[in-house]
Structure 1
Amino acid sequence: MKIKPTLIAVWLFFTLALFSCQFKNNKSKPEKPNVLFILVDDFGYRDCSVMGSNYYETPNIDRIAREGMIFTDGYATCQVCSPSRASILSGKFTARHGITDWIGAKTGEEWSQTGRATQLLPPDYVHALPLEYTTLPEALKEAGYKTFFAGKWHLGAKGSWPEDHGFDINKGGWDAGSPAGGYFSPFKNPNLKDGPDGENLSMRLANETVEFIKNNKDTAFFAYLSFYAVHGPIQSTKEKWAKYRDKAEAMGISRYGFEMGHFLPIRQTQDNPVYAGLVEAMDDAVGVVLKALEEMGLDDKTIICFTGDNGGVAAGDSYSTSNLPLRAGKGYQFEGGIREPFFIKVPGLNEGEKCSTPVTGTDFYPTILELAGIDLKQEEHTDGISLVPLLKGDTIADRPLVWHYPHYGNQGGEPSSIIREGDWKLIHYYEDGREELYNLKNDLEEANNLAPENSKRVKQMSIKLFAMLNEMGARFPAKDPAWTAEKELQHLGYVISQQLPALEKQRLNFLSKDFDPANNWWGSQAVND
């Protein structure tokens, strides 16, 4: 039997149409995930319950950790804020992007006039996130994401604000690194309108984030919630202060809370009720955003990253917290200065798992791109690698991690550079060229310097460290010709005889039932609780 040509034509038309539809369906890209990135300022490794604190209460942050992957060896790329923030957005180590200290810190001869009487003059640094970089939000915008920033920026003056680096909306990001008006409205922030008197800053930033998500729930979004908390000035409400004062008393108040470090006293106890209240208020704000994602049905479509920009403030600033068993804190070359809570929640992947592979802030950029199905930009995130294999339970290649902080800062750390390879950590000090070696697997507290009996390893790691620093164009400190040992000893004598006792007195005052801040920031209690 012959088939009519017209029937053949009809059959061919429908067959090709069917295959065409199947081809298009097979090639269609899956729905892009949303990304919520939460960055907490000065948040220490043990400043949340899930990481071991028995004093602070952080149920919402803990939930992110338990529903995602906890990177136990997660790091900031610097012991102070601006450099770490630049690394997250650029995927570059600090020595490469050149922002090696918090923007505004004094260098050179200006540093020598601060009265610290130190041996070295810190080098200058880059004072704004370079505009020529393609940042993480810019890469996501290219892929169709709506981008949003709320909170602390501290990566340059006007012309280098969030909206200049890929964020469609900026709520509160500008030059300053601390909340100019404190944690209650009026905020004194040119990019954040004041709310009702006493409105809580952390909650306001959370509400701004929720509003952005509501307005963009039908498209892929990148929301970067960068709290000013828990940076000083530390503030709370009377209710939260009373809760944590009573808790500290129930746990037993130590007679002494500080030990003298190299330059400054370092806090050894988590018992500051004002700081604890500030932590809880920030966690409350995190909870508001998590609840909104659930109510809008977006929680199973949203990747959540959570970390801090440097260690908790154990010395300098507000002397707020202790990072023990990690040594020291913000501004220091030890683990307390650089190791961070580091959580990534990807719906459907490794809920509640822990990973001990060393990872760092530069890794967020390529990780988020890969999770979003976007081609990596290795020429941009030069020093970061995707953590997706780890999130899937696989491994990544061993690699060295490097830190470069040729400054003194405000917390008492020393100008130094660090390299970590596997379990080994080498610290090079610029004052006298000495080097310390620690095995972090056996000595997380960094109490035992193993350099004397491991000279070969020290030499190998030191050579690699400086090869990497020189390749990145690192700058180094210079000797201060005006320094004398007598001036430094005189300054340290003042710290030990005057400052240390004053800190102990202030600590006990915060824990006194009669404590009165006498500046009315509890007058807004009803608005915030």
Structure 2
Amino acid sequence: MRSLLITFVLLQSLFFLETNQVEAASPPNILFIFTDDQAPWALGQSGHPHAKTPNIDRIFQQGAYLVNSFTTTPVCSPSRASLVASRYGSELEITDWIHPRTEPNHGLKPDTVTWMKLLNESGYRTGLIGKWHLGLLDKHHPTQFGYDYFMGFRSGGNVPKDPTLEVNGKNTKLKGLLPDILVDDAIQFINKEQGTPFMLSLHFRAPHTRWLPVAEEDWAPFKDLDPQIPNPDYPDLNVKRVKKMTREYLASVASVDRNVGRLLQSLKQNQLDQNTIIIFSSDHGYNMGHNGIWHKGNGHWVLNKNPKPTPNIPAGQRPNMYDTSLKIPTAVLWPGVTQPNQMIKQTVSNLDWFPTLLEMAQTSKPDNLTIRGRSIVPLLKNEKQTEWDNDFYAEYSTKHQSKTHMRMYRTPEWKLIRDFLNPSRDELYHLTKDKDETNNLINSKDPQVIKIRNQLHQKILSQMKSIDDKVLLQQGQGT
């Protein structure tokens, strides 16, 4: 009898051990929080004196902070296309934000393979709540690209209060503040069917303009604030306007943060926090008086008097590839993998999410599928790297307010921007000496600077050739 009891106990122990091993090896949940027009500088974690972001900061502090994270194109639609497909916007024929009036039929090609689709096919319950901006037609609908569930808006624009959103396939006028409505729905999505791993993309519209109204508690810290601004001495800067916009922008960021706090609390209450990877990122950076402009890659001057227009650049416009437009705030909190206050300094981009998320979800990449990114899992696991290329290539062909073909190559030390449509706009910056990109060295006579400029130019051409960039052929730049 004693031997039978011992055998039973041993078998039971083995059963529980095997069960725990299976549970430990099960794919994690993934919560991808994605803001709109979120500047890396607009966080308490990055040292902003006025930002109120304790909940977002917690993700950065408890996980890995990727301080050199970039977008391939500093505007909404092509950045989002690169995120989901790991291809450049020029490859996907989405090179600028999709205009709902002038491009009502334009969107992500239906045959585009996305990581959401692959995760869904591998058993994940997938959802997108919030902004899509990759096409209005049904063939461009998020559910055509791997999302089981969608609640939000297909276009790029909406309003911060009482929005019209697609709910159960129908456009519905809802009451309340947009960030709160989206997170209410996200909490419901997460709480549903907890036995199945989920991947939820939560795409806030904030802090995209319009910034107000926000909840009173989000506005209170800023309504009477005289904010510090980054560039108060910029020649002819409209300081009053920059300060007003700064107050409103930071309030919009605070509205996101409050709702991120609600979401984190829900995960903890449902005991999902230890098996959920939380990713925080944005589609691109933002300027608020930096270099005399506000907005993103299709920037606007914020001066008392605008520079004169040129044939392709209207007065008031300042298309750019500044780091303030290209850099994005990014953190990954992966329980059991990332370490508190982990700092990753290697250069990464939104192209890298595709292979990264597949590896996180233990999902294989189809053979012969072209993707441009590389998995950052080894960086998150703090594995020793034999090599990691920290150079970065980006592109932006503006076609709405301005007409440009900007192509950029960046190393940790130098950055070259070529505008193949407007060569007089070319720029070269020595980043290690000029991180704010205020001294354009493109016309320098220094032989060493000329050598670097030529080397970076060849790297741009090589990148354009590798992705079959049509601008190269149009501009006769084949060599």
**Which TM-score applies when normalising by structure 1?**
0.72
For residues 210 and 54 of structure 2, what CA distance do their matches in structure 1 show? 24
Match of 1:244? 222
Task: Name the aligned partner's letter for residue 298 of structure 1.
Answer: L
For residues 318 and 186 of structure 2, what CA distance do their matches in structure 1 show? 28
Q: How does 1:214-229 map to 2 (within 5 A)?
A: 214-229=191-206
Secondary structure of the equivalent of 1:272? helix
Alignment check: 8 A CA contact 1:332 1:414 kept? no
> Is 1:388 aligned to 2:338, yes or no?
no
Shift of 1:269: 5.0
Match of 2:4? none
Match of 2:182? 205
Alignment check: 8 A CA contact 1:151 1:226 kept? yes
- Cα separation, partners in 2 of 1:381 and 1:216, compared to 1, 3 Å: farther
Match of 1:351? 340
Count of residues paired in the alignment = 432
For residues 419 and 143 of structure 2, what CA distance do their matches in structure 1 show? 38
Alignment check: 8 A CA contact 2:219 2:251 kept? yes
Shift of 1:381: 5.7
Match of 1:371? 360
Match of 1:486? none
Identity of aligned residues (%): 28
Secondary structure of the equivalent of 1:131? coil
For residues 257 and 88 of structure 1, what CA distance do their matches in structure 2 show? 36
Secondary structure of the equivalent of 1:210? helix
Secondary structure of the equivalent of 2:107? coil
For residues 45 and 87 of structure 1, what CA distance do their matches in structure 2 show? 19
Q: Which moved more, 1:232-241 or 1:398-407?
A: 232-241
2:255 corresponds to which of 274, 281, 289: 281
For residues 256 and 475 of structure 1, what CA distance do their matches in structure 2 show? 40
Shift of 1:340: 0.9
- Cα separation, partners in 2 of 1:252 and 1:128, compared to 1, 3 Å: closer
> Is 1:463 aligned to 2:458, yes or no?
yes
- For CA contacts below 8 A with separation 6 or more, give which structure has more relative contact order: 1
5+ residue gaps, structure 2, are: 1-10, 303-316
Match of 1:305? 279
Alignment check: 8 A CA contact 1:39 1:308 kept? yes
Shift of 1:187: 2.5
Alignment check: 8 A CA contact 2:229 2:289 kept? no
Match of 1:518? none
Secondary structure of the equivalent of 1:207? helix
Cα deviation, 1:478-497, whole Å, max 9, x if unaligned, reads: 89xxxxxxxxxxxxxxxxxx
Shift of 1:267: 7.3
2:431 corresponds to which of 440, 447, 450: 440
Task: Name the aligned partner's letter for residue 426 of structure 1.
Answer: L
1:52 corresponds to which of 47, 55, 59: 47
For residues 25 and 372 of structure 1, what CA distance do their matches in structure 2 show? 19
Match of 2:328? 340
Alignment check: 8 A CA contact 1:133 1:380 kept? no
Alignment check: 8 A CA contact 1:79 1:330 kept? no
Task: Name the aligned partner's letter for residue 222 of structure 2.
Answer: Y
Cα deviation, 1:184-242, whole Å, max 9, x if unaligned, reads: 12436575765763x11111111111111100322111000001111112212473434
For residues 469 and 266 of structure 1, what CA distance do their matches in structure 2 show? 42
Match of 1:428? 418
Shift of 1:255: 12
1:164 corresponds to which of 122, 136, 144: 144
> Is 1:173 aligned to 2:164, yes or no?
no
2:268 corresponds to which of 282, 286, 294: 294
Match of 2:7? none
1:183 corresponds to which of 138, 147, 160: 160
**Which TM-score applies when normalising by structure 2?**
0.79
> Is 1:419 aligned to 2:409, yes or no?
yes
Computing the radius of gyration from Cα coordinates, the structure with the larger value is: 1
Alignment check: 8 A CA contact 2:347 2:391 kept? no
For residues 254 and 93 of structure 1, what CA distance do their matches in structure 2 show? 31
Shift of 1:283: 1.2
